[in-house]
Copies of this chain bind each other. A is one copy, B any other.
């Protein structure tokens, strides 16, 4: 976490960490240095949970659905400084009308599409100002624009991340300028993803940066060059429960229920299967990966399928580094916190569901 904070220090931007990966109040306290926010969340369940744990400055960064508005206003009545995002005129009209009716100037960021990745309005699209005007004149608070260059996960290496960060920044700033040019307010320009946040070289015009997976990192982030294997701060503990020497397999009691079905490294130059096998001290065992998984069984083998296997007797405990921290962490209801690589110093609960 210090790496991202150090990187962002020279820029006059707020860090609004995304808790979609960790979903834990203890992790949130660490990453906010004990402050009560600001945080980004991916569900209203997270907003509710973090509010109950003293975090009130919250951005719910998934395009709002009509049937979630009641919950949003309820959280605000209970003290959350909760803001939302949307990217279309229908929702803008509905939100503005609800704000007027409830006399609550809910802050709304307009989502900007900077990389054709998912959702958002293009910076140059005339709809942008219409959405802004609908919100601003209708009863909501037009708080600014938000962009997420999700394509950065499909880039590779520092130069590509720098370019993607600039594309994200310039797109978001262009959208903000389009709103301001139409006589509308746009105080916030929020951008971010772990690779773009870590490799941005210029944040002119940006007011806040969001990132989530950097708290733990994972094999996809290693594979695209955003971090090294040593940076991964999360693993799944498992026991050896069987051997199939004819097949070159060692069976463990962690399958896809423990690792998730995420196979993010399958598309990268090094396919890590369902995860990299490490000893209890988190040192990778050379060329040993989880090559396949059933619900509660993992199959460990040499990366080549046929290479030599170390002697891991029944009951040996191993740690598996995951493809995707967000997906793997979501399969568990708590973290066992290790301070020196072997002793559990705390149990941190995490939440789940919507």
Contact = CB atoms under 8 A, between A and B. Distances in A.
Interface of A: 20, 42-43, 62-68, 86-88, 90-91, 94, 113, 116, 118-119, 150, 239-244, 247, 251, 253, 256-258, 260-263, 294-297, 299, 313-315, 317, 324, 326-327, 330-334, 352-354
6 contacts: A68-B253, A88-B243, A90-B313, A118-B297, A119-B251, A261-B262
Contacts of A317: 67
B314 A66 contact: yes
* Identical copies of this chain, number: 2
B314 A119 contact: no
A258 B352 CA distance: 11
A334 to B, nearest CB: 8
A219 to B, nearest CB: 14
A314 B314 CA distance: 54
A109 to B, nearest CB: 14
Q: Tell me if A's interface is mostly helix, strand, loop or mixed.
A: loop
Nearest to A117: B294
A247 B66 contact: no
A317 B324 CA distance: 29
Contacts of A315: 65-67, 90, 94
Given A333-B352, A333-B353, A62 B297 contact: yes
Contact of A63 (B62, B247, B251): B251
A90 to B, nearest CB: 4
B314 A90 contact: yes
Contacts of A330: 257, 331
B64 A241 contact: yes
A242 B65 CA distance: 9
A84 B280 CA distance: 26
Given A88-B242, A330-B331, A253 B352 contact: no
B116 A247 contact: yes
Which one of A43, A90, A296, A327 has the greatest number of beta carbons of chain B within 10 Å? Answer: A296
Given A67-B239, A86-B241, 8 more contacts: A62-B241, A65-B315, A68-B239, A118-B299, A119-B297, A256-B262, A260-B261, A261-B324
B90 A327 contact: no
User: Sorted from nearest, which 9 A-B pairs have the closest CB atoms?
Assistant: A261-B261, A65-B239, A66-B315, A63-B241, A90-B314, A261-B262, A333-B353, A62-B296, A119-B242
A191 to B, nearest CB: 17
Contacts of A334: 353
Contacts of A67: 239, 315, 317
